Amino acid sequence: MALIDNGVYVHGRRVETPKNLDETYRMLDAAGGIAWIGLYRPSPEEVESVAREFDLHPLAVEDALSGHQRSKVERYGDTLFAVLRPARYRDKEESIEFGELHLFVGPDFVVTIRHAESPNLAAVRARMEANPELLAMGPEAVLYAILDEVVDGYEPIVAGLLNDIDEIEDQLFGDSDDDALSRRIYELSREVINFQRAVHPLSGMLEWLRRGSAKYRIDEELQRSLRDVLDHTIRVNERVDSFRAILENALTVHSALVARRQTEAGLAQNDEIKKISSWAAIIFAPTLVGTVYGMNFDVMPELHWAFGYPMAIGAMAAFAVGLYGVFKYKKWL
């Protein structure tokens, strides 16, 4: 069902629980107060019904129907239209799952349109109904409570990202697979960037709401609560910015470490090649002498010479010792 919860409130207390939108309109006219309508993936007809009843701006309605909007807040006359990006962290996959929440806030109504499971607005409604004094402050109080819930929902994400970044820092100087670590850093950086896009606009949105509080005569206590949410949002933004910087540095450090390991491996390989080449040369020199005197020619100057054999053996030894000394001096051996 698209209509998740629906209530009419007078002085902060629920007086009616209509079963459908038409009943909501009639009961609101009869009882006064405010209506709080919660919709989950509504049909275009349901959104158009709410738009006609509360005279919602066509551009805002179009955004609510199309979805995939960035976080923002806009005012159309006496109605506020806000788009929020609630999120939750999937620790196993190291990914952030984003939702989308649209809010219409008018003088006597609040309409929430969810396109994902989070946030849990039932908990927000229960908390507000348990505090009639806060709910009696009007639709702006509901907007504050929802903003607070969305921003609070970012804290587990910050904690999850911090834990994964700590693991990456431990892996940087360990024996982890280079390709797997590079991929992990890159994919986590992408999640942090997406998280930034969802969180960064909130600071400006809350500051804009705070500046307009006096003009629209928002309760002073509610203004303090909005400032608290703003402070919380700024802290989240600062942490996310630091995460992005840390991951960028981690990727740079990892690239440098990989390059150093490759260089060291290349140097070690060169040393082995030098050793093999040196021994091959040492062995080749005696082999060359032995090959010359093993060609079975009848006429050779030293063939019948008494000192021919000692000379050949001496030449072999001299070549081998000489080459060994040269290579040892050059530190190839």
**CA separation for the pair 174, 152 (Å, rounded):** 35
Nearest partner of 98 among 88, 90, 106, 84, judged by Cα: 88
Nearest partner of 144 among 50, 38, 224, 238, judged by Cα: 224
Three-state secondary structure string covering the chain = CCEEEEEEEECCEEEECCCCHHHHHHHHHHHCCEEEEEEECCCHHHHHHHHHHHCCCHHHHHHHHHCCCCCEEEEECCEEEEEECCEEEECCCCEEEECCEEEEECCCEEEEEECCCCCCHHHHHHHHHCCHHHHCCCHHHHHHHHHHHHHHCHHHHHHHHHHHHHHHHHHHCCCCCHHHHHHHHHHHHHHHHHHHHHHHHHHHHHHHHHHCCCCCCCCHHHHHHHHHHHHHHHHHHHHHHHHHHHHHHHHHHHHHHHHHHHHHHHHHHHHHHHHHHHHHHHHHHHHHHHHHCCCCCCCCCCCCCCCHHHHHHHHHHHHHHHHHHHHHHCCCC
Distant-in-sequence contacts of 53-57, Cβ < 8 A, 24+ apart = 53/21, 53/25, 54/79, 54/104, 54/106, 54/109, 54/111, 55/79, 56/81, 56/104, 57/81
User: Position of tokens 């939750």?
Assistant: 88
Q: What pLDDT tens digit does each residue of the chain (333 aa) get?
A: 588 889 999 999 999 999 899 999 999 988 888 999 999 988 899 999 999 999 999 999 998 888 778 889 999 988 999 999 999 998 888 889 998 999 999 999 999 998 877 778 889 999 999 999 989 888 989 999 999 999 999 999 999 999 998 888 888 776 666 678 888 888 899 999 999 999 999 999 888 888 877 666 777 777 788 888 999 999 999 999 999 898 888 888 777 776 666 666 655 566 677 677 777 776 776 776 667 666 665 666 766 666 667 777 777 788 778 777 877 777 777
Residue 122 has which token pair?
């039932």
User: Position of tokens 């500051």?
Assistant: 207
pLDDT at 186: 86
Q: Under a CB-based contact definition with an 8 Å cutoff, are residues 99 and 87 in contact?
A: yes
pLDDT at 14: 92
User: Position of tokens 């060169």?
Assistant: 270
First to last CA, the chain: 81
